[in-house]
Amino acid sequence: MHTQHTKPARGIRRVVNAFGYSVEGLKAGLTEPAFLEESLLASIMIPAAFWLGQGWVEVSLLISVVILVLVAELLNTGIEAAIDHISLERHPLAKRAKDVGSAAVMLALLLCGGVWLAALINRFA
């Protein structure tokens, strides 16, 4: 957070700071059970994509949908943390925000499952 007396970082310093914030975000994500489980699956699925995929486009797609699940989960975690920071009281808009974040994860998982299923069928059928 910047105060009135500090200038925002620029150039390479801004890039280095942004990288550090991203690493902190990944560390925070790994404390969430869903993100940890999905990360463990990703550590298996990403190398498997090189075996399953037939050509660079298919490999890229298989890896991309796995990464998309992780991105959606991190965004969902961020939404939940922000809502909980604002208030722990039950509110229809807080529920809606959390439900929409959860739906984004579900859609990413469905897309990932569909792409991987199609690749498996293509490879073995």
- Interhelix angle for 33-52 vs 11-29, to 10°? 100
Tell me the pLDDT tens digit for each residue of 6-27: 778 888 999 999 999 999 999 9
Answer yes or no: are the C-beta atoms of 32 and 73 closer than 8 Å: yes
Q: How many residues does the chain have?
A: 125
The structure tokens listed for 23 are: 């690493």
For residues 7-33, b (16+ Cβ closer than 10 Å) or e, as one string?
eeeeeeeeeeeeeeeeeeeeeebeebe
| 5 pLDDT tier (thresholds 50, 70, 90) | low
Tell me the whole-structure pTM to 2 decimals: 0.89
**What is the structure's pLDDT at 9?**
86
Contacts of 9 (CB under 8 A, 6+ apart): 16, 17
- Catalytic residue (choose from 58, 73, 80, 89): 73
| 4 pLDDT tier (thresholds 50, 70, 90) | low
Tell me the pLDDT tens digit for each residue of 37-81: 999 999 999 999 999 999 999 999 999 999 999 999 999 999 999
Q: What is the mean pLDDT of the chain?
A: 94
58 is catalytic: no
Tell me the pLDDT tens digit for each residue of 69-113: 999 999 999 999 999 999 989 999 999 999 999 999 999 999 999
**What is the structure's pLDDT at 8?**
83
